[in-house]
Amino acid sequence: MFEARQTMDAPAHTSGEGGMPDAGGGWFSPRRQPSPQGQPSGSGDGTGEPSAPGGTTAEHSAARAGERGRTGDDAAAAATPSRPVSAIRPVGSGASRRDRPRLSVVPDLPGEDAAPPAEGDGARAGTAESAPAATARPDGFTEPRRDTGPPASPDALLVRRTLAEIGPVADEVTSYFYALLFTRHPALRSMFPVAMDTQRDRLLKALLTAAEHTDNAAVLTEYLQHLGRGHRKYGTQPAHYPAVGEALLGALARFATTTWDAESEAAWVRTYTTISQIMIDAAAENELHAPAWWDAEVVSHDLRTSDIAVVTVRPDTPYAFLAGQYTTLETPWWPRVWRHYSFAGAPRSDGLLSFHVKAVPAGWVSNALVHRARPGDVLRLGPPAGSMTVDHTTDNGLLCLGGGTGIAPIKALVEDVATHGERRTVEVFYGARTDYDLYDIDTMLRLQQAHPWLSVRPVVDDRAQFPSALREFGRHGPWDGFDAYLSGPPGMIRSGVHALRAFGIPVDRIRHDSLEDLVAVGD
């Protein structure tokens, strides 16, 4: 057993104080559920073992992570720690509450440059175009942030030092992390998909990304709160956090061989405490007023092309969301595999929700939704997320670029403006590779016909040059009185941001979902 967890002391204080966790707080428990000081925060039975997911069936208490190349079971069997992980002992883990190092969230870095992406599995948080805070690399990890703001905190420096060292061996770290997690806590294996796919590293990646941005309290808190709420649908309990923390530290210690020392271990312990505390608190608060997931019956299935379907569902209980947001979706055929889809319309009075799904090669969920789902099937929805929503406090025009099925949330934005009865100019550019791929053009043109303030322009280009093609429309500007919204493949978002900035749209008025999470969307 990992020594650190056995010596991690009391659960945290109540969260009555709100905001960031108490710096001197204990480990991994919701602050709103205080426990007697000195009691281990694991299962509550003193063993420190995480309790089995409570309140949900194993089938639906999925944790989110996928497997790259092989199953987590295989990875667990294959990984042999090169040194006993029990030798890892976080500095301060045995210290008194007073002695324990302070948590290191310093609310002083510029938010614009440091926004972490949204939840890995569930997450494409809408964001004003800030620097893609966590630039996705091919290996799935994030590029270290280059700050121009105030100096980083000591903990942030140590954390980034570790990240820099493990970057080149990210795949091995990921395998080892899950191997440790599942061999030490076999009960947790059932919370993950049976066949762990290429998204295996999402959990670890989300944690590492959060750790990397530990200095940016405001953005980090929002990100982690979202992550914590989103974890409810997997059946995640507070007691699971120490297990993950141990595996995390174990994997870091194993691979950051040249830089790992007591100092960096203590920094990671503090950082992970902060991360987990925010997530636990957010989940506990969310539990008071929202279900962990919604069952939603398919009421219509409209195959628009050979590989694109519009799927409409009726949630079993009211589902509140904003136009431009997205959710996670699980099918009965791939338990515990959740994928992200945007709502393809503004909220409706009948409560129905629609999604545009493109079946992508080897995409389990997307193929099931396009080729298998039929009316009567019951899907599951996670909570809504994302902030690519209409700002109703201004009367700026909206310049919208929707590429492929990325037109779904753009349609929702248009409906939202229509619902508010405003007369804001809305310019939609709808990109597709062929005419055939403009599967929703009829709907968009009908909207245009109904609303004089709306203009819809299809841009057909098979060279993946949609935003470049947009340049010829630049003459329709000036666009400086517009807020811009981009939705589509990650490459389109990147070049779209570039083009829009060239048109003179300020960076803080360009909105799109997280690039990193888009990579994981819709497969």
Ligand X SMILES: NC(=O)C1=CN([C@@H]2O[C@H](COP(=O)(O)OP(=O)(O)OC[C@H]3O[C@@H](n4cnc5c(N)ncnc54)[C@H](O)[C@@H]3O)[C@@H](O)[C@H]2O)C=CC1
Task: Name which position in 301, 331, 403, 497 contacts ligand X (CB under 6 A).
Answer: 403
278 near ligand X (CB under 6 A): no
- How, if at all, do strands 326-330 and 338-342 pair? antiparallel
| Residue 353 vs residues 24, 153, 202, 268, 363: alpha-carbon distances, Å | 44, 44, 27, 41, 22
In the region spanning residues 405 to 444, those forming contacts with ligand X, defined by CB under 6 A, are: 405-406, 408-409, 431-433, 437
Number of residues that bind ligand X (CB under 6 A): 28
**Separation between Cα atoms, residue 82 and residue 178, nearest integer Å:** 15
- Choice from 123, 203, 353, 492 touching ligand X (CB under 6 A): 492
Q: Considering the complex, what minimum distance in angstroms separates the CB of residue 520 from ligand X?
A: 8
How far apart are the C-alpha atoms of 192 and 120, rounded to whole Å?
Answer: 14
Q: Give, as ranges, the residues between 236 and 275 that touch ligand X (CB under 6 A).
A: none
Cα–Cα distance measured from residue 339 to residue 321, given in angstroms and rounded to the nearest whole number: 17
Instruction: Map residue 353 onto helix, strand or coil.
Output: strand
Nearer to ligand X, 417 or 432 (CB): 432
- Sole binder of ligand X in the list 488, 503, 514, 515 (CB under 6 A): 488
Among 489, 510, 515, 517, binds ligand X (CB under 6 A): 489
Query: Alpha-carbon distance 225 to 125, whole Å?
Result: 12
- For 48, 109, 208, 500, the CA distances from 16, given in Å and listed in that order, are 26, 26, 28, 44
Taking a C-beta distance cutoff of 8 angstroms, is the pair 265, 7 a contact?
no
321 binds ligand X per the rule CB under 6 A: no
- What is the smallest separation between the CB atom of 370 and ligand X, expressed in angstroms? 11
As measured in angstroms, the least distance from the Cβ of 133 to ligand X is 18
Under the binding rule (CB under 6 A), the answer on residue 58 touching ligand X is: no
Give dist(CA 380, CA 331) in Å, integer: 7
Give the DSSP H or E segment for 366: helix 364-371
DSSP string for 252-289: HHHH-TTT--HHHHHHHHHHHHHHHHHHHHHHHHHHTT
Question: Which residue's CB is nearer to ligand X, number 60 or number 356?
Answer: 356
Backbone φ and ψ for 89, nearest 5 degrees, come out as -135, 110
Pairing of the two strands 454-460 and 126-128: unpaired
- Listed in order, strand segments (DSSP E) in 258-396 are 294-303, 308-315, 326-330, 338-342, 353-358, 378-381
C-alpha closest to that of 507 among 521, 496, 518? 496
State the nearest-atom distance from the C-beta of 148 to ligand X, in Å: 28
Q: Write down the least CB distance from residue 162 to ligand X, Å.
A: 31
Q: Could you say which of 210, 404, 427, 484 contacts ligand X (CB under 6 A)? A: 404
Residue 461, amino acid: D
- Minimum distance from CB of 200 to ligand X (Å)? 19
Least separation, in Å, of the C-beta of 331 and ligand X?
15
> Closest distance between ligand X and the C-beta of residue 468, in Å?
7
Decide if residue 117 touches ligand X (CB under 6 A): no
Give the DSSP per-residue string, 185-234.
-HHHHTTS-SS--TTTTHHHHHHHHHHHTTT-HHHHHHHHHHHHHHGGGG
Contact flags string 71-100 toward ligand X, x per CB under 6 A: ------------------------------
Binding letters toward ligand X, positions 332-371, x by CB under 6 A: ---------xx-------------x-x-------------
Shortest distance (Å) from residue 467 CB to ligand X: 5
Restricting to residues 447-486, which ones interact with ligand X according to CB under 6 A?
461, 464-467
Which C-beta is closer to ligand X: that of 189 or that of 512? 512
Look-up: residue for tokens 């099918």?
331
Q: Which of 106, 491, 501, 507 is the binder for ligand X (CB under 6 A)? A: 491
- Is 487 an interacting residue with respect to ligand X (CB under 6 A)? yes
CB of 190 to ligand X, least distance (A): 29
> Does residue 115 touch ligand X according to CB under 6 A?
no
Q: Which residue has the tokens 């020594």?
A: 3
Of the pair 26, 488, the CB lying nearest ligand X is at 488
Chain positions contacting ligand X, by CB under 6 A: 341-342, 356, 358, 403-406, 408-409, 431-433, 437, 461, 464-467, 487-489, 491-492, 495, 518, 521-522
